[in-house]
Structure 1
């Protein structure tokens, strides 16, 4: 089948492209390259450089008529959403509506939406949070992702457009951009490999559920293959605080550098952890890469990237 991956040249998107290629599908990546990179893509993926908010993006969907759209392109920085809610809504709500209208016209069968399993729940009542937990986002980013899920429900009811909303935990791994995308693992890994100091915002006791990027890509493929409609958590169900995370990364990098602390940032939750048991039941998905292994692979990626300029100049 023909699959369109928005944000396909990005960190998670490029892993999703790889997963669908391995399964034998034709893959098109739509990306404006604001944070994605051509080098992330397998040469077999056709890249169309367009913004999801543009008429050209809608035109691409109408002309290519993919059977499935994996929608990953987004403004994904919680802190930026707090600073500029209108920009967040423009990209994450209006951009998505542009794609959904084109998908409706083009006869797309299914949309697999990259939602959020942390920001959508807000300050949780239970840990880990199941899909039926109340959605009380405390950031515009969380609000925009919740809105995306509601619009998908509307398009399913009105037009029969099938969908799965994958509520990701904190995704990390190779290819994550420490500059253009939110991601404490990528930021710390790059700095540790370079021998630079790291800063933790707040006391470091805030917790997150960290899930490995290629595992998330596998969830997208399974969501395509199964008939389930609705929201599904994609996480590990394990809380890790930022101090523990830093220690794990420092060990993987062989660094003894001391970390500094700075004031916490607004719009961020204290604790976040999601229950992945529904994913196992309806998708056959469960995490298989533990945090220590995933951090080691991530550090190896950033170490190899740090060596590239030296090889090029030699």
Structure 2
């Protein structure tokens, strides 16, 4: 019997790649997405496949989600649906709370009635970074800064999953993502700095870089290619870890350097403007991936140059 996996947020940038991985791996996949930011077009390669089905539904709708659990009866829940913007969480913390915590609790309520084997919870390594000093990297055991509502809801979600896993006897893995980039990513605020830069560069329009006085090249981030993230999801689906894992490259890159790398990849020269810092920004973020290497045997395989070239090819294929 094929394993059945329910993927929330499966029509989104990362979730759609995850759905493709599951179908290719022989899983039966139910993709659930309310299409707030996800797109059915991201799933065009899966539509009509005998092992894949898509349902437009909101994870906050308990009645609708209970029906899907009852009829599909997943073995694995892969929870990618989220309000993912730090800035949006500051502007509308109630919406952030509703999607990121109430939505999670709806899923966990369904699991109480319809037991599962594994739960994969997507969290944020960037928002949950500690204060970085020198050559340090954020480890899973470090206390995060928690300087935005988004960080608070994601961290609370991790703890809810841990409690429910023990109470209702399922395995879990928390995947704390670094900054992910790749095909299908939308230019959505700080969550999508790479596609924002790419779109502006291709249109020969200047971009804006938020800087601090002591960080003239902008905040630093850890950028990981989406295919490497998908591999982490595959491994987490096959092995019970029952812990939190950072999924990043362990390499700290200033945002201005990302911009320059994109210019080089697309062979363009377009200026960038500097502005002051943004409220809620983590200044420095880089993740230690030692635990993921040890427990999952996961390694980031794609260099920034290779990832940007793959993105360039995908953009050309679409146009």
Q: TM-score, normalised by structure 1?
A: 0.93
Of 120, 124, 129 in structure 1, the residue corresponding to residue 128 of structure 2 is 120
Q: Gaps (5+ residues) in structure 1?
A: 308-314
SS of structure 1 residue aligned to 2:245: strand
Please state how far the C-alpha of 1:276 moved relative to its aligned partner.
0.7
Q: Secondary structure at the match of 1:182?
A: helix
How much does 1:26 deviate? 0.8
Partner of residue 15 from structure 1, selected from 5, 14, 17: 17
Q: 1:52 aligns with which of 59, 63, 87?
A: 59
Q: 1:150 aligns with which of 134, 138, 159?
A: 159
1: CA distance, partners of 2:77 / 2:132: 30
Tell me which of 165, 173, 186 is aligned to 2:182.
Answer: 173
The change in CA–CA distance for 1:85 and 1:199 in structure 2 (over 3 A counts) is same
Which residue of structure 2 lines up, in the alignment, with residue 310 of structure 1? none
Q: CA deviation at 1:301?
A: 2.6
Q: Any gaps of 5 or more consecutive residues in structure 2?
A: none
Matched ranges for 1:46-85 at <5 A: 46-55=53-62, 56-85=64-93
Q: Is the CA contact (8 Å cut-off) linking 2:115 and 2:168 kept in structure 1? A: no
Residues 213-224 of structure 1: pairs in structure 2 closer than 5 A: 213-224=226-237
**Counterpart residue number, 1:39:** 41
Give 1:277 deviation, angstroms: 1.2
Tell me the residue number matched to 2:265: 252
Among 170, 174, 194, the alignment partner of 1:161 is: 170
Indicate conservation of the 8 Å contact 2:127/2:150, yes or no: yes
Misfit runs of 4+, over 6 Å: none
| Whole-angstrom CA distance in 2 between matches of 1:137 and 1:297 | 34
What does 1:186-225 correspond to in 2, within 5 Å? 186-202=195-211, 203-225=216-238
CA contact (8 A) 1:67 1:109 kept: yes
Deviations 1:258-287 (A, max 9, x none): 111122210011100001111111111100
Alignment partners' CA distance in 2, 1:188 and 1:303: 16
For the 8 Å contact 1:30–1:47, the answer to whether it is kept is yes
Separation of aligned partners in 2, 1:304 and 1:267 = 36
For 2:37 and 2:273, locate their aligned partners in 1 and report how far apart those are by CA, in whole Å: 27
In the alignment, the residues of structure 1 paired with residue 139 and residue 190 of structure 2 have an alpha-carbon distance, to the nearest angstrom, of 26
Superposed displacement of residue 181, structure 1: 8.0
Q: Deviations over 1:28-82 (max 9, x none)?
A: 1100111111111122231100111112123212321100010000000111111
Count of residues in correspondence between the two structures:
306
Segment of structure 1 superposing worse, 187-196 or 231-240 = 187-196
Distance 2:294 2:146 in 1: 26
Cα drift, residue 182 of structure 1: 1.9
Cα shift readout 1:62-114 (whole Å, capped 9, x = no counterpart): 32110001000000011111111111111000000001110221111111011
Query: 1:312 matched to which residue of 2?
Result: none
Q: C-alpha separation between the residues in 1 aligned to 2:304 and 2:53?
A: 32
Secondary structure of 2:116's aligned partner: coil
Structure 1 position 175, deviation (Å): 0.6
| 1:180 Cα deviation after fit | 7.8
CA contact (8 A) 1:62 1:103 kept: no
Classify the secondary structure of the residue corresponding to 2:228.
helix
Show the counterpart of 2:111: 103
- SS at the partner of 1:130? coil
Conserved 8 A contact 1:35-1:181: no
